Structure 1
Amino acid sequence: MVVGRRGRRPAGSGVQLTFEVIAATLRERIRASELGAGDPLPTQAVLMREFGASSLTVQKAMALLKQEGWAVSRPGKGAFVAHDDHHAHPEGADDLDGSEATAPADGTTARVKVLERALAEAAQQIADLRGRVEALESGSGERGR
C-alpha cells in the first residue's frame, strides 16, 4: 500500500493519505471485533507511534471516524467505538463512494447507548454539584446569623 505523506493525493492514483490509512485500520479492527461498542480507541500518542504520524494526522483520522459514526468522544475521557456492527459491512463495501460506504447501517443503537451512559454520568455530576452548592449555601446561611 502506498501512502501519501504530504497531504496531497496525486490525481487519479490509488494513494491513500496517512489519516485515511489510520481510519481504515481502525474501521477494520472494529469489523474484526478487536474493538467493540464502547471500547476505548487507541490514544493519539499510541496511533502516532504505530503509524509514524503527526498529531494533526491522527486528529484528522479521528475526526473522519466520528463524522462517519464509527467513534464518539467523551470530553476528558477520550474516543470510544460507537458501534459494533461489523456484520453489517459485506466484503467490498469500501468500494462505494461517500460516507454511506463506511457509515454503520445499524450502529445507531450502540451510539445511543454510549450517549446515554455519558448523559447519565453528566446528570450524576450535576446532582453532585447541586448537593455541594446546597451544602455550602446552608452552611453560609447559618454563619451569617
Structure 2
Amino acid sequence: MGGTVLLTFEVIAETLRGQIRSGGLKPGDALPTQAVLMAEFGASSLSVQKAMALLKRDGYAISRPGKGAFVAQPDVDTDADEDPGSPDAGNARMVARVEALELALAEGLEQLASLRDRVEALELSGTHQV
C-alpha cells in the first residue's frame, strides 16, 4: 500500500519502456502515435509529449521529423562516439534534453495561463456579486 503513485506521463513512459525491454517493441519500430497513446491512456497531449521526452532523454526513443518516434538503436550513440565521420547520433541525447526542457517550459506556461484564466474568472464573478 505504501507504493508511489505515478503520474500519467510516467505510466505511459514506463509502459513503453517495459514493451521495449521485453522485446515487444524492437529497435527501429515505430512507437504508437500521440493520438493512439492519448486514447489508450485517457491522457492529454501534454502528458504524451512528456512521456516521449522521458523516453528520448533515457535513450529509449528517437524522433524522426515528419515520421514520428521510434525505438532507439542501442548501438547508435556508441558508434557515433567511436566514429567521428558517422552521422552525429551523439547529439540525440542533447536534443532529447532540450525537448524535455521545452516541454517543461510549455507545461509551466500552460499552468500560468490556466491560473491567469482562473484569476480572471474569479475577478469577474466577484464584480458581478454586488
Q: Same fold (TM over 0.5)?
A: yes
Q: Which has the larger radius of gyration?
A: 1
After TM superposition, give the deviation of residue 19 of structure 1 in Å.
Answer: 0.3
Structure 2's unaligned 5+ residue stretches are 80-85, 90-130
Partner of 2:62: 72
Q: Distance in 2 between matches of 1:41 and 1:111?
A: 19
> Could you tell me whether the CA contact under 8 Å between 1:82 and 1:111 is conserved in 2?
no
**Alpha carbons of structure 1 residues 111 and 74: separation in structure 2 relative to 1, 3 Å:** farther
Residue 44 (structure 1) aligned with residue 5 (structure 2): no
Q: Distance in 1 between matches of 2:34 and 2:16?
A: 13
Q: Distance in 1 between matches of 2:37 and 2:11?
A: 11
Partner of residue 14 from structure 2, selected from 6, 24, 29: 24
Partner of 1:15: 5
Structure that is richer in helix per residue: 2
Q: Distance in 1 between matches of 2:46 and 2:77?
A: 25
Report SS of the residue matched to 1:14. coil
Partner of 1:58: 48
Q: Distance in 1 between matches of 2:35 and 2:78?
A: 28
Query: Quick one: higher RCO (CA 8 Å, sep 6+), 1 or 2?
Result: 2
Runs of 4+ in 1 over 6 A off after TM superposition: none
Q: Distance in 1 between matches of 2:27 and 2:77?
A: 8
- Structure 2 counterpart of 1:27, which letter? R
- Structure 1 counterpart of 2:37, which letter? L
The alignment yields a C-alpha RMSD, in angstroms, of 2.5
Percentage of identical aligned residues: 67
After TM superposition, give the deviation of residue 45 of structure 1 in Å.
Answer: 0.2
Q: Distance in 2 between matches of 1:56 and 1:77?
A: 19
Paired positions, count: 82
**Alpha carbons of structure 1 residues 69 and 37: separation in structure 2 relative to 1, 3 Å:** same
Q: How does 1:131-142 map to 2 (within 5 A)?
A: none
> Could you tell me whether the CA contact under 8 Å between 1:37 and 1:110 is conserved in 2?
no
